[in-house]
Amino acid sequence: MSATSQNYKVALNANFRIAVQVRDAVTGQVVNITGYSVHMQARPNKDPTSTPIYLDASVGSGITLTDPVNGRLDLNIPKATIVALTFSAAYYDIAITDLIGNVDIILEGILTTTKGVTA
């Protein structure tokens, strides 16, 4: 698998939600992600040792395997977490680990925060 690049705007007055479908980069076929672990982090740069970690999510803590047989997962960061964000832009990626420990980055890009109008 290869990572898809996608930048997102994160409104500081709302939940941040995205839905992802994992596909094989070569065949385009949906990947069954049953039993996989999924992890997402956002940081100030692309160095995996950099601090601070702005966002950190995993299955059961912001990430749900909504239809793993069909490669579907959802990222849902609640407003209570979002309103506390202090960055204007951060790099993120979402990594999946299969049942034998192979790790692939499936989505990466830049998160940019925006102030919302509606309270």
**How many contiguous H segments (helices) and E segments (strands) does the chain have?**
1, 9
What pLDDT is stored for residue 1 in this prediction?
A: 64
For 15-62, the pLDDT digits (tens) are: 999 999 999 989 999 999 999 999 999 999 888 888 888 889 999 999
- The topology (CATH level 3) of 4-114 is Immunoglobulin-like (2.60.40)
According to DSSP, the residues that pair with 30 across neighbouring strands are 23
CB 32 within 8 A of CB 72: no
Domain residue spans in the chain? 4-114
Predicted model pTM: 0.90
Of 60, 15, 63, 40, which Cα lies nearest the Cα of 109? 40
Q: Cβ(71)–Cβ(29) under 8 Å?
A: no
CA-to-CA distance for 38 and 82, rounded, in angstroms? 20
pLDDT band (50, 70, 90) for residue 79: very high
